[in-house]
Amino acid sequence: MVKAAGTGEEALRVTGSECFDVIVVDPFAPGMGGAALLEDLRSGGGDAELVVLSGDATAADVNRAFSSGTFAVLKKPCRPARLLGVVERAAELVRLRLENDTLRRRVPAGVPWHGIVGESPAIVTVRAHVERCAATHGPVLIKGEHGTEKEAVARAIWASGARSSRPLLTLRTAGRPPGLLADELFGHDQGAFDGATSDSRGLLEGAHGATVFVEEIGRLDLTTQTALLRVIEQGELRRIGAAQLRRVDVRVIAATDRLLERETREGRFSEDLFYRLGPTAIVVPPLRDRLGDVPLLVECCLKALHTTDDPVKEMSPDAMSALREYPWPGNTRELAGVVECAVMRSKGPVVAAGEIRPLLTTPGSVPETVTLEELERRHVAHVLRQTEGNKSEAARLLDIGRRKLYHLMKRLGLEG
């Protein structure tokens, strides 16, 4: 929902009666303006992030806006793509803040591994490592195949650590060029590159005192890796195009599904950063190595999908046996997708084996009963799970345009 206001007074009326994630404001708009308008919007705008867009802002105005918690200050004229990008980042920060608040309310006191489900020896070992890492303040590397519970491990470390009162902010790296990732992490000064019409602080600077999770650290280029190492070791960062170093206090938790040892040997990953992160590595096992945890994982999925007053659906014994015998190349993310699809298709309170087995096609084998459309749906769904819902990355892997992907998802019933 987007609403416009022509004056400062109208903006206060709109934001006072409805909730918004991001408020874009020109403090020199007609009517009430300046510092008074910004202050009233902060106090009455709920959890909204403020983005200042003005053609009259001085350097003092910019510094004052940042010091009082404004998310970004943009100078007119501003390219629409630039404004949209800033608004999307601000909305993501609000979403993460609400998600973190919900997580803290749900996690029982004293439970340091929220979201890590299982009782296998491999998961017990992961939990022990989580507990040790949560008691420290240093960086952590989480290793595991695509689709394992690496982000859940990061959340468990954060939720049980000393920084749990501050947000856990996530850098999604899939499908983003290295230059954009560096800008998102470190920010930039005005004039650093074409289109940099104002100063912008990055994720790390905005996360002072908090924790940042880098979902796939292997996608960062070597220059960005070196800059991140400075943040970890010295607590300093330099915005793109800036001469001044800035002090930051951020805990970095990184994840990877790559073999960083090989990446380091072949010169694609910083040796210094690898040696800094390596000793703290937590290895998340693939699901095929802990199939005994499948019933517990399925139970959690069924409860999470339950949204009505009807009883939670169950798996028949034969359906559960089929799930336990499958090798799960996509790990827990694939399991969650299969269970969700089976529940949507099942008409009764119990999911039968016949509703599960068609969803468990091992790559390279196609049952005769599978239609071409169903095979296409499964492939697109698998790629979307693989990219964690990132449409740009999924379109790239499928070798189609983003718009065509949206049409394909709509036709195959994969919207949302």
The CATH code of the domain that includes 394 is: 1.10.8.60
Give me the pLDDT at residue 99, please: 57
Q: Which domain holds residue 37?
A: 8-83
pLDDT surpassing 60 at residue 10: yes
User: Do the domain assignments include residue 384?
Assistant: yes
In whole angstroms, give the CA distance from residue 301 to residue 320: 13
User: Do the domain assignments include residue 68?
Assistant: yes
Q: Which residues pair with 256 in a beta bridge?
A: 143
Are 240 and 146 members of one domain? yes
Are 275 and 238 members of one domain? yes
The tally of domains found in the chain comes to: 3
Share of the chain above pLDDT 70, in %: 79
Rounded average pLDDT over 244-251: 93
Confidence of residue 178 (pLDDT cuts 50, 70, 90): confident
Are 229 and 272 members of one domain? yes
Confidence of residue 97 (pLDDT cuts 50, 70, 90): low
* 341 close to 359: Cβ distance less than 8 angstroms: yes
Are 202 and 183 members of one domain? yes
CATH number at residue 57: 3.40.50.2300
In whole angstroms, give the CA distance from residue 274 to residue 410: 42
Q: Which residues pair with 247 in a beta bridge?
A: 236
User: Do the domain assignments include residue 210?
Assistant: yes
Are 40 and 143 members of one domain? no
Considering 50, 68, 83, which residue would you say is the last residue of a domain?
A: 83
Closest CA to 301 of 351, 376, 257, 355: 351
Confidence of residue 109 (pLDDT cuts 50, 70, 90): very low
User: Do the domain assignments include residue 88?
Assistant: no
Strands 140-143 and 168-171: unpaired
pLDDT surpassing 70 at residue 367: no
User: Do the domain assignments include residue 92?
Assistant: no
In whole angstroms, give the CA distance from residue 290 to residue 120: 6
Are 132 and 256 members of one domain? yes
Are 171 and 276 members of one domain? yes
Considering 231, 266, 283, which residue would you say is the last residue of a domain?
A: 283
3-state secondary structure of 258: coil
Are 55 and 130 members of one domain? no
Rounded average pLDDT over 78-89: 78
pLDDT surpassing 80 at residue 397: no
Are 65 and 120 members of one domain? no
User: Do the domain assignments include residue 20?
Assistant: yes
Confidence of residue 264 (pLDDT cuts 50, 70, 90): very high
Confidence of residue 274 (pLDDT cuts 50, 70, 90): very high
User: Do the domain assignments include residue 297?
Assistant: yes
Are 123 and 267 members of one domain? yes
**pLDDT 10s digits, 155-170:** 999 998 889 999 999 9
In whole angstroms, give the CA distance from residue 3 to residue 190: 29
- φ and ψ of 188, to 5 deg: -150, 160
Are 367 and 317 members of one domain? yes
User: Do the domain assignments include residue 99?
Assistant: no
R_g of the chain, CA atoms, integer Å: 24
Considering 283, 301, 335, which residue would you say is the last residue of a domain?
A: 283
CATH number at residue 237: 3.40.50.300
pLDDT surpassing 80 at residue 269: yes
Question: Which residues of 339-383 form beta strands (DSSP E)?
Answer: 350-351
**pLDDT 10s digits, 11-55:** 777 766 677 788 887 776 666 556 666 677 766 555 677 788 777
Query: Angle at Cα 332 formed by Cα 328 and Cα 336, nearest 5°?
Result: 100
b (16+ CB within 10 A) / e for 192-206:
beeebebbbbbbbbb
Give me the pLDDT at residue 323, please: 94
Q: Where are the alpha helices (DSSP H) in 135-206?
A: 150-159, 178-186, 203-206
Are 120 and 247 members of one domain? yes
pLDDT surpassing 50 at residue 7: yes
In whole angstroms, give the CA distance from residue 305 to residue 342: 11
Q: Which helix (DSSP H) or strand (DSSP E) does residue 251 occupy?
A: strand 251-256
